[in-house]
Amino acid sequence: MENIERLYNNIFQLLRRHHELFSTALPLIASENIVSPAVKEALVSDFGHRYAEGWPGERVYAGCKYIDQVELITIDIMKRIFDAEFVDVRPISGTTANLALYSAFTEPNDIMVALSIAKGGHISMGKKRFWGSAGLVHGLEVEYFEFDEENFNIDVDRSMKKIISIEKEKGKVRLVMFGGSVFLFPHPVKELSDFLKARDIIIGYDAAHVAGLIAGKKFQDPLREGADVMSMSTHKTFFGPQRGAIVSFEKYAEKIKKAVFPGVTSNHHLNTLAGLSIAALEILKFGKKYADDVIKTAKKLAEALYERGFDVVGEKKGFTESHQILVDVTKYGLGGDIERKLENAGIIVNRNLMPWDPQRGLHYENPGGIRLGVQELVRIGMGPSEMIDVARFFERAIIKEENPETIRREIADFRKDYQDVHYCFRSLKKAYEYLPINQ
Of residues 173 and 208, the one with the C-beta less far from ligand PLP: 208
Identify residue 24 by its one-letter amino acid code. T
Of residues 209 and 299, the one with the C-beta less far from ligand PLP: 209
Q: Report the nearest approach of ligand PLP to the CB of residue 324 (Å).
A: 10
Q: Is 93 in the site for ligand PLP (CB under 6 A)?
A: yes
Q: Is 323 in the site for ligand PLP (CB under 6 A)?
A: no
> Which residues is 143 bridged to in the sheet?
113
Q: Report the nearest approach of ligand PLP to the CB of residue 180 (Å).
A: 5
Of residues 239 and 306, the one with the C-beta less far from ligand PLP: 239
Q: Is 233 in the site for ligand PLP (CB under 6 A)?
A: yes
Of residues 95 and 220, the one with the C-beta less far from ligand PLP: 95
Q: Report CA-CA distances (Å) from 290 to 214, 297, 307, 406.
A: 11, 10, 26, 32
Residue nearest to ligand PLP as judged by C-beta position: 94
Q: Is 208 in the site for ligand PLP (CB under 6 A)?
A: yes
What is the rounded CA–CA span in Å between residue 136 and residue 127? 7
Of residues 153 and 330, the one with the C-beta less far from ligand PLP: 153
Contact characters 21-60, ligand PLP, x per CB under 6 A? ----------x-----------------------------
Q: Report the nearest approach of ligand PLP to the CB of residue 354 (Å).
A: 16
- Three-class HEC string of the chain: CHHHHHHHHHHHHHHHHHHHHHHHCEECCCCCCCCCHHHHHHHCCHHHHCCCCCCCCCCCCCCCHHHHHHHHHHHHHHHHHHCCCEEECCCCCHHHHHHHHHHHHCCCCCEEEECCHHHCCCHHHCCHHHCCHHHHCCCCEEEECCEECCCCEECHHHHHHHHHHHHHHCCCEEEEEECCCCCCCCCCHHHHHHHHHHCCCEEEEECCCCHHHHHCCCCCCHHHHCCCEEEEECCCCCCCCCCEEEEECHHHHHHHHHHHHHHHCCCCCHHHHHHHHHHHHHHHHHHHHHHHHHHHHHHHHHHHHHHCCCEECCHHHCCCCCCEEEEECCCCCCHHHHHHHHHHCCEECEEECCCCCHHHCCCCCCCCEEEEECHHHHHCCCCHHHHHHHHHHHHHHHHCCCCHHHHHHHHHHHHHHCCCCCCCCCCCCCCCCCCCCCC
What is the rounded CA–CA span in Å between residue 228 and residue 291? 24
Q: By CB under 6 A, how many residues form the interface with ligand PLP?
A: 15
**Residue range at the interface with ligand PLP (CB under 6 A); choices 88-96, 168-176, 365-373, 388-396:** 88-96
Q: Which of 74, 181, 265, 352 binds ligand PLP (CB under 6 A)?
A: 181
**Residue range at the interface with ligand PLP (CB under 6 A); choices 93-101, 303-311, 342-350, 368-376:** 93-101
Q: Report the nearest approach of ligand PLP to the CB of residue 406 (Å).
A: 34
Q: Which of 124, 153, 220, 350 binds ligand PLP (CB under 6 A)?
A: 124
Instruction: Please answer whether residues 154 and 115 qualify as being in contact, where contact means their C-beta atoms are separated by less than 8 angstroms.
Output: yes
Of residues 159 and 233, the one with the C-beta less far from ligand PLP: 233
Residues numbered 138 to 177 that lie near ligand PLP (CB under 6 A) are none
Q: Which of 132, 244, 314, 369 binds ligand PLP (CB under 6 A)?
A: 244
Q: Report the nearest approach of ligand PLP to the CB of residue 93 (Å).
A: 3
Of residues 64 and 182, the one with the C-beta less far from ligand PLP: 182
Q: Report the nearest approach of ligand PLP to the CB of residue 224 (Å).
A: 20
Of residues 24 and 133, the one with the C-beta less far from ligand PLP: 133
For residue 185, what are the contacts with CB-CB under 8 A and spacing of at least 6?
151, 152, 153, 314, 317, 320, 321, 322
Q: Report the nearest approach of ligand PLP to the CB of residue 436 (Å).
A: 28
Of residues 56 and 180, the one with the C-beta less far from ligand PLP: 180
**Residue range at the interface with ligand PLP (CB under 6 A); choices 1-9, 92-100, 287-295, 366-374:** 92-100
Instruction: Please answer whether residues 143 and 162 qualify as being in contact, where contact means their C-beta atoms are separated by less than 8 angstroms.
Output: yes
Can you state the angle between helices 335-344 and 404-414, rounded to 10 degrees? Answer: 60
**Residue range at the interface with ligand PLP (CB under 6 A); choices 80-88, 205-213, 259-267, 280-288:** 205-213
How many Å from the N-terminal Cα to the C-terminal Cα in the chain?
20
Q: Which of 180, 186, 212, 241 binds ligand PLP (CB under 6 A)?
A: 180
Q: Is 95 in the site for ligand PLP (CB under 6 A)?
A: yes
Q: Report the nearest approach of ligand PLP to the CB of residue 289 (Å).
A: 24
Q: Which of 37, 56, 94, 336 binds ligand PLP (CB under 6 A)?
A: 94
Q: Which residues bind ligand PLP (CB under 6 A)?
A: 31, 93-95, 98, 122, 124, 179-181, 206, 208-209, 233, 244
